[in-house]
Structures are given as structure tokens and as C-alpha cells.
Structure 1
Amino acid sequence: MKTTTFKKRLVNALAVTVITTSSLGGVFLASPLVMTTASANADTIKITEKDAVKKFKKEFKDSRVTEIQLEKKGGSYRYEISGMDNSKEHNMDVNAKSGKVIHKSSEKLDDDDQESALDLDKLITRKQATKVAEKAANSGKAHNWSLSYDDGTPVWEIEVGHGHKQHDVKVNANNKKVISNTQDD
């Protein structure tokens, strides 16, 4: 069977599942096929978080990056970068394979919207955090990442999936120590 035919069948099956479960009150159980598909495509991530941030800073020159997320949307991985300058909050989505900017926006800051800036040169990379998280989970592959401050500490939050098992692992981005490792069944 051709890969494209398999992908089309998988997308159709997932669409039917989502529609069916939505009509049944939104109950959704992830199957091993869904989890495997999500993690199998993580190898399509070609640019690093630093490369994505460079694009962000080129567009929003005086901004401080406050959060970086990497997740699969619309069949491909994308970085979602948030930051701010003295008057505005800025957001940019960057395709993690091509590096192409998908979306960018800015809005006026509220008075209480001040967050600490991330200094990627002083923090562990997504790849380093992934190794720590996958080891802590003891099985599975990372498929969602988020880097932000949590109670004054820069933290990588990583979802690691294997079959029906899902681990949410928090890793201190300063020293690679596991802060928490919770399992959802």
C-alpha cells in the first residue's frame, strides 16, 4: 500500500473518530496508532528552537521571548513563540521543518503582562530535555514540548507517549533535573 494512501485512510479514520466522539459528548481515547503517528513524525523537525527564535527576533527586534511551544498542528510540527517588548505582546508560528513563518501577530500589553525572558544560551536545548524526559518516562517518544518559566524556574514541559500511556515530564532547563513525571492512562 502506498504511504499516501495509508495517510489518507488514517486521516479519514481520525476524522470519523473525532466527529463520532464529539457527538458522544467529547469522550476521546487515544489509540496506539494515534500516539505512534504523532511521535513518528517528530523526526521531521529540522530547525532548532534557537533558529525559530532568530526569526522571531528578526521580526520583533526589541522583544524578549517568554515562551516556546513545539507541537503538531495540521499534520506538521510548528514552533509557537511568544514574547513582548515594552508595549506589545508578539506571537509567531514557524514551521519546524521548513522554517517558514506561518503566522505572526501583535497586541497591546495589559498592565499586568510582564513575564521573565528566556535566555536560550543559558538553558538546555529541546533535544537535551527530550533525552531526559524519555529516560524518565522509561518508554515512548516525546511529541509535544513547551519552554517557559514556572515559579521562577525555566522549565521544559514534555509529553512522552507510548501506546495508551502518556507521561507529562517537567525538566529544569537550567540543570536537566526532572521536576515531575506524571503518567496519564
Structure 2
Amino acid sequence: MNKWTTIATSLLLAGGAAIGVAGATDNGKVSVDESAVVLNTQTAQPAQTENENSPANDETITKEEAIAIAQQVLPGKVKEIEQDSDDGHRYYEIELKYEGKDYDFDIDAATGEVLNIDGNLLRTPLADKMEITAEQAKQAVLDEVGEGRIKEIELEKNRGTYMYEIEVKVHGDDDDWYVDANTGEVLASGNDKRGAEAQSQRTQQADSAERLSVKEAKNIALAHVGQGRVDDADLDRENGRLVYEIEIEQSGGDDVELIIDALTGEILHVDWD
């Protein structure tokens, strides 16, 4: 290979730095058409890493932080902890033993808020911190139902609110009522017709907008599910919104729980067990 051919070849092989058109002359030499030469002046850019292209993960508190939050509420011993999620909302489940009794905590994995505490908190110092006493809660329920007998009362935390769960026997039937432990607001379960009607009158006075009846909420739930029997219908307040919690038992034995806006009838959440 003569030296002109070698030079031309070197131009073509120089890492893509130059691309040209080469042709042989009559005397055997190779000429390069400089007008066709393109120089690659761009500097190679480093490839982006996967982390740079991916969105940042949601912040999550650690297990140790979740445990510390639970133990600030009750200074007990942690038996078990795991992380779970509901419709993409992550939370920690912590089983804690305090003075020989077990309490189950649900703690928001993003905010650290204590969402639920399952277990009778009347046995703990938390009972003394409530604005409404257990006796006041009992009397409030008896005032609502007109007559009845209190069988059992517990203090728990449900959806971020401390409340008394009170089992009362009315006309031979057992019914569960709930009383906000800090405001004294009474929430009927809806199983007892007279109690639900009394709750309806009280709530309509408290809310400027007219709300749905228990029957209307049940019909909405049944229409959405398609078939089944209403097993329970509770009137509750969730994040400042008045809602019905409707539980439907299906023929196959499965339960469906629906959360329905008590003012608009909008179905806010459906939990298929």
C-alpha cells in the first residue's frame, strides 16, 4: 500500500473523527475531497445513570423511628413489626406488649402519624388524658338510645381519633356505638333503628347540608356491589367529612366494606375482603 492510501485509510479509521471521500488519481496517488470531510467536534457525554432517570422514592420513616413513636404512646416492649400497604398507602403494623396486654399500632410510614391502636386503652395512662370520661361516654349513648344496658366499653384509636366503643343491649339486641373521646360526639352503628333516627336528627342539626339517610346509603352500597346483605352501617366522621361505613356480607361468605360520603352519596373507598 502506498503512503497516500495509508493516509486516507487512517483518516477513515481515526475513531470516527473524520469522514471523507477518497479517490485515486492517474498517477496512483489518493486525493481526499476536503469539502466532504466532517469533523466530529462533539465531546462524548457520560451516560445518565438509572438513579438520575428514576424519580425519587417516597420518604419513609424507618422501623426504629416507628417503634419510637409507638413507645412514646405506650412504653411497652415490641413483639413484632412489619410494613404493609392499603391502596398504595404504606404503614407499619407494630404489636406491643404493655403491662401484660397486647396493643396493635398502625403508623403511617410517611408521616409517622399513629392511625389506629387496637386494644383497650382504658387500662393505660392514656385514659386519663381524654377530655371525655368513660362514664360520660356511657351516659351519652344511653341518652341517645333512650333506654338500654351497657355491656362493655373500650377505648381505642381509629383513623387517627381516640374513641370509646360501647356495646349496649337494646330490646334484646346488642349494638355497638362510638363516642369521640375528646369531643363527646356520639356515632350510632345504625343497627338500632331508633338510635339511628336519633343520630340522624342530631347530625342534621349540626350540619348545614342535608345528609343521606341510612337506608339511602345502604341502597347505594348494594347497587355498587350487586348482591349481598347489609351486615352493618355506621355513621362516622373521617378527616372532617361525614361518612357512612357500610359492611355487606355476600353469599359466598366474603365481606365488602364501603365508605360513602353521607352528604353526596359518593363512594370514597371499597375494600373487598
Which TM-score band applies after superposition, normalised by the shorter structure?
0.3 to 0.5
TM-score, L = length of structure 2:
0.30
Which structure carries more relative contact order (alpha carbon 8 Å, separation 6+)?
A: 1
Point out the structure with the larger helix share: 1
